[in-house]
Amino acid sequence: MNANQETTRIEAFFLPAGMDIQTTTSAPLMTPEGPVELLIPVLNGEKLKAIMANLSRNRSEYLLTLSTSDIVERIAAASEKWLNPSYPQRVLAERLLPAITGYAADSIRLQLKRYMRTFRRKELLRFICEELDDPLVLDEFRPRKSGGFSRAYGPRLLFQVFSGNVPGVSLWSMTMGLLLRSAQLGKTSMAEPLMAVWFAQSLAEVDAKLADSIAIVPWKGGSEELEREAVRQADTVTVYGGRPAVESVRAHVPIEKRFVAYGPKASFAMIGREALTPDRMNDTIARLTADVTHYDQQSCMSPQCVYVEDGGSIDAQSFAALIAAELSRLQLRWPRASLSDGEAYAILDLRNRYWLEEAAGEGSVVYASAEEAQWTVVYHDEPYFEGSPLNRTLHIYRCSRLEDVIPVLEPAGQSGLLQSCGAAIGPQRMFALAEELGNIGVNRLCHIGSMLQAKAGWHHDGRFNLIDLLRFTDIERTMEDGLESYDPDFE
């Protein structure tokens, strides 16, 4: 890289048109095309209050005049821009996100392309219909089967705290806010502050007035003045992130305001004997390692541990060795992001703990990269549940039958920790296993290889998406019938 290359400056915020704000710059990010500085807004309580007042005004003047169909068309048009490889924002994302997040450029390119397809018109319509039998209830009073009418209303002003562990994860939250005709302030993480900004800019290219109901700004978590003001002005608060982030914001939310939190979760995989036949084994390994490698297990949907059933063409320990070999190969294609000192220590601590067990003959075997904790696979002779320090660190447990693992998982499930199960089993076993996993708290089952690709309308953390943010107004049948008597033509 040429040391004399000019520094590029990128806005890491999005505000309604006409709003001026003072900015400061981040430390330079080094990219192959030269250094990049992020422009960060300088915020205080008064400035945030003015931004949110502007959002509310723009919602009243324009967003509320649009139909649900109008909004779907505009979101879909913005997403279509991202499916063009030469779209400037996509080019910028593919250039900067590897430098910001540390994730491999090829992995980001592949995942962004997959992700943006979920915002197409057909997917958005499917998403709405998954939760609302009559989507027009978002637009007008609609008849109820029991008599009377109902109308659904979204929040006036949403304050959303986004996590920064996976690029673009905030876009579904933004989309939900728009579909409900809610103005929204999104607080991004400096771990990844740009995708929400870029998508808001894409919306502005499609419909500037629509985008004027959105503001995206970053600030340091725990900034009480800003969090208090944002909560004070909003009528609904949503938070995505770890326990400290959730609890920090929750402390400021009064009981009369709606608070929706998506806290820390862990996912796992189950490999049946039927997925380990000679003709299926390689595909099973490729699918599972893709789920582990993309975004370095930072997604709550990434597997942290794997249960491998006896009776396949290879045993669980051999399977663990093959997974380790594939992770080593994928390190060349999709290098793992750099680790913080704390992350590296957590992995080394886990390795040391199980190396001691291995030396003592206690049923554990450690397969580990020789350099920089690039990947770690720990094989266990008996099934139990232990979370992973992530960053391509995987527990693999042998079990006689997958069904025997349910009691092992139950404490984690009942505590609300478990989310997704990636499965490789025969179709005859699907419903019975799903019934048992559902009973202990697992809320999503999918095929391995697709664990990071939740479909439109999935029940995030086992709950509704739109409905959790809606309030309903009912016109009861008694009113409908009673008012007929005031009709001049009533007989």
Within-domain flag for 487? no
**CATH code: domain of residue 420:** 3.40.309.10
pLDDT digits (tens, 9 = 90+) for 195-227: 999 999 999 999 999 999 999 999 987 789 999
In this prediction, residue 1 carries a pLDDT of 46
Same domain, 336 and 424: yes
Same domain, 291 and 407: yes
Where is the domain boundary, 221, 249, 264?
264
Same domain, 288 and 345: yes
Same domain, 177 and 288: no
Within-domain flag for 479? no
Cα(188)–Cα(333) distance, integer angstroms: 29
Cα(101)–Cα(151) distance, integer angstroms: 42
Confidence grade of residue 7 (pLDDT, cut at 50, 70, 90): confident
Within-domain flag for 301? yes
Within-domain flag for 247? yes
Domain count, the chain: 2
In the chain, the percentage of residues whose pLDDT exceeds 70 is: 99
Mean residue pLDDT of the chain comes to 94
Same domain, 320 and 340: yes
Where is the domain boundary, 223, 242, 264?
264
Asked whether 366 and 360 are in contact (CB, 8 A), the reply is no
**CATH code: domain of residue 201:** 3.40.605.10
Where is the domain boundary, 264, 285, 300?
264
In this prediction, residue 47 carries a pLDDT of 96
- Cα–Cα nearest to 456, from 79, 199, 184: 79
- Close Cβ partners of 463 (under 8 Å, ≥ 6 residues apart): none
Same domain, 40 and 136: yes
Section 118-147 average pLDDT: 94
CA distances from 139 to 66, 69, 153, 270 (A): 9, 9, 9, 43
Asked whether 314 and 273 are in contact (CB, 8 A), the reply is no
Residue 461 backbone dihedrals phi, psi, to 5 degrees: 55, 30
Residue reference for tokens 């929204």: 184
Confidence grade of residue 491 (pLDDT, cut at 50, 70, 90): low
Same domain, 50 and 77: yes
Same domain, 209 and 316: no
Instruction: Reply yes or no on whether the pLDDT at 69 is more than 80.
Output: yes
Burial (Cβ within 10 Å: 0-12, 13-18, ≥19) of residue 63? buried
In this prediction, residue 222 carries a pLDDT of 78
Same domain, 260 and 270: no
Same domain, 394 and 340: yes
Query: For residue 427, what are the domain limits?
Result: 266-453
Within-domain flag for 482? no
Can you give the length of the chain in residues? 491
CA distances from 23 to 26, 40, 43 (A): 10, 5, 9
Same domain, 259 and 349: no
Asked whether 440 and 409 are in contact (CB, 8 A), the reply is yes
CA angle 245, 335, 6 (to 5 degrees): 80
Instruction: Reply yes or no on whether the pLDDT at 457 is more than 80.
Output: no
Same domain, 64 and 164: yes
